[in-house]
Amino acid sequence: MALLFLWALSGACLAATDYDQLFRQSSDLMAQGDLGGALELLGTVPPPAAGEEAGAYVSSRMQAARILAAQKETDRAVAACREVLKLFPDNSEARNFVTALEQQRKPGWHTVLSDTLRFLPSLAKGALMTLLLVFCTMLVSPLGGLLIALGRISTVRPISGFCWFIIWFFRGTPLLLQLFFIYYGLPSLGITLAPLTAAVIGLGLNYSAYLGEIIRGAIQSIDHGQMEAAKAIGMTYGQAMRRVIVPQTYKRLMPPVGNEFIALIKDTALVSTIAMVELMRAADQLFNTYFNITALALAAVIYLVLTTIFTFIFEKIEYRAGIYEQR
């Protein structure tokens, strides 16, 4: 009710473009102790359209910033100043106020700690989504990569040509573009995908192409005598691949595949562009709300933790995969 009233009131004021009155009203509200109402009222001033007088907008944001600062809502006060700076980067009033506020804030350990506790839940949610994307891609792409690798070394020209094309296309265009095409482009062909599906398809295809080349290299690096020995005991090409050649590639595959999957953890950040809230997007949202770099620093720490764990796991797997080489 109060909201509706204020909105109607401000509408009337704005129609008259009598901002002085608006400010007076907000001061009155403040004097009555209704700070929320005052802020609400100030928030109704829209950003100036091109060529329009900017004074009222700047004054209203700065007034809001002062109220917030008085309330010890430093983050939100800074945010109000930044809104001004976004449109008028040279505005010295806003800039000075931000500097003053930040000096006043002097981030001690307790602020960082409280920010961390405040941000962690949404960052953790984002990190879980990142992990989900990584695991889905890790499930899909080795299979896709193996198929592409076997196709590439096939002597059937159409098959090897097709796999060459897949690698050529997906390695030769940005992942971001592929994601856009799948999520925003396919609907125009009548295929609409959920963001998660689109993300997994995009990441899966891209990483299949990269892994395809890595797996092909590993298969071709296995001594030719192995294939001959397998054939000499009567194995078919498929049996030889499955039982003899491919298992020997595992150890050689681990270092480059580990690299790819670590790159993947970071590449998942790109799906924030197709309406998915993963770790990067969660951090970005927090940063844009609070203008607080702790959110970004925390995201960096979480990424580092994830990549470190992966590095460790892949080193272990590599050791296990090559255990037969030990004398």
Q: Following CA atoms 62, 68, 72, 78 in sequence, which dihedral angle do they give, to the nearest 10 degrees? A: -50
With a CB cutoff of 8 Å and minimum separation 6, the contacts of 22 are: 10, 13, 14, 41, 42, 44, 45, 56, 60
Beta carbon of residue 265, minimum distance to another protein (angstroms, whole number): 29
Q: Following CA atoms 45, 47, 52, 53 in sequence, which dihedral angle do they give, to the nearest 10 degrees? A: 60
Beta carbon of residue 161, minimum distance to another protein (angstroms, whole number): 22
Check if the beta carbon of residue 68 is closer than 8 Å to that of residue 77: yes
Q: How far is CA 97 from CA 36, 39, 62, 200, 263, in A?
A: 21, 18, 9, 45, 41
Q: Which is nearer to another protein, 51 or 234 (CB)?
A: 234
Beta carbon of residue 232, minimum distance to another protein (angstroms, whole number): 4
Beta carbon of residue 316, minimum distance to another protein (angstroms, whole number): 18
Query: 69 in helix, strand or coil?
Result: helix
Beta carbon of residue 229, minimum distance to another protein (angstroms, whole number): 4
Any idea what the Cα angle at residue 268 is, between residues 262 and 273, rounded to 5°?
A: 155
Q: Which is nearer to another protein, 76 or 251 (CB)?
A: 251
Q: At 89, phi and psi to the nearest 5?
A: -60, -20
Q: At 222, phi and psi to the nearest 5?
A: -75, 135
Which segments within 111-269 are labelled E, that is strand?
none
One-letter amino acid at 178 equals Q
Q: Which is nearer to another protein, 54 or 244 (CB)?
A: 244
Beta carbon of residue 113, minimum distance to another protein (angstroms, whole number): 51
One-letter amino acid at 292 equals N
Beta carbon of residue 241, minimum distance to another protein (angstroms, whole number): 12
Residues near another protein, by CB under 8 A? 223, 225-226, 228-237, 239, 243-244, 247-248, 324-327
Beta carbon of residue 242, minimum distance to another protein (angstroms, whole number): 9
One-letter amino acid at 27 equals S
Beta carbon of residue 324, minimum distance to another protein (angstroms, whole number): 4
Q: Which is nearer to another protein, 249 or 292 (CB)?
A: 249
Task: Estimate the crossing angle of helix 19-31 against helix 55-70, to 10 degrees.
Answer: 10
Number of other CB atoms surrounding residue 3 within 10 Å: 10
Any idea what the Cα angle at residue 233 is, between residues 229 and 239, rounded to 5°?
A: 85
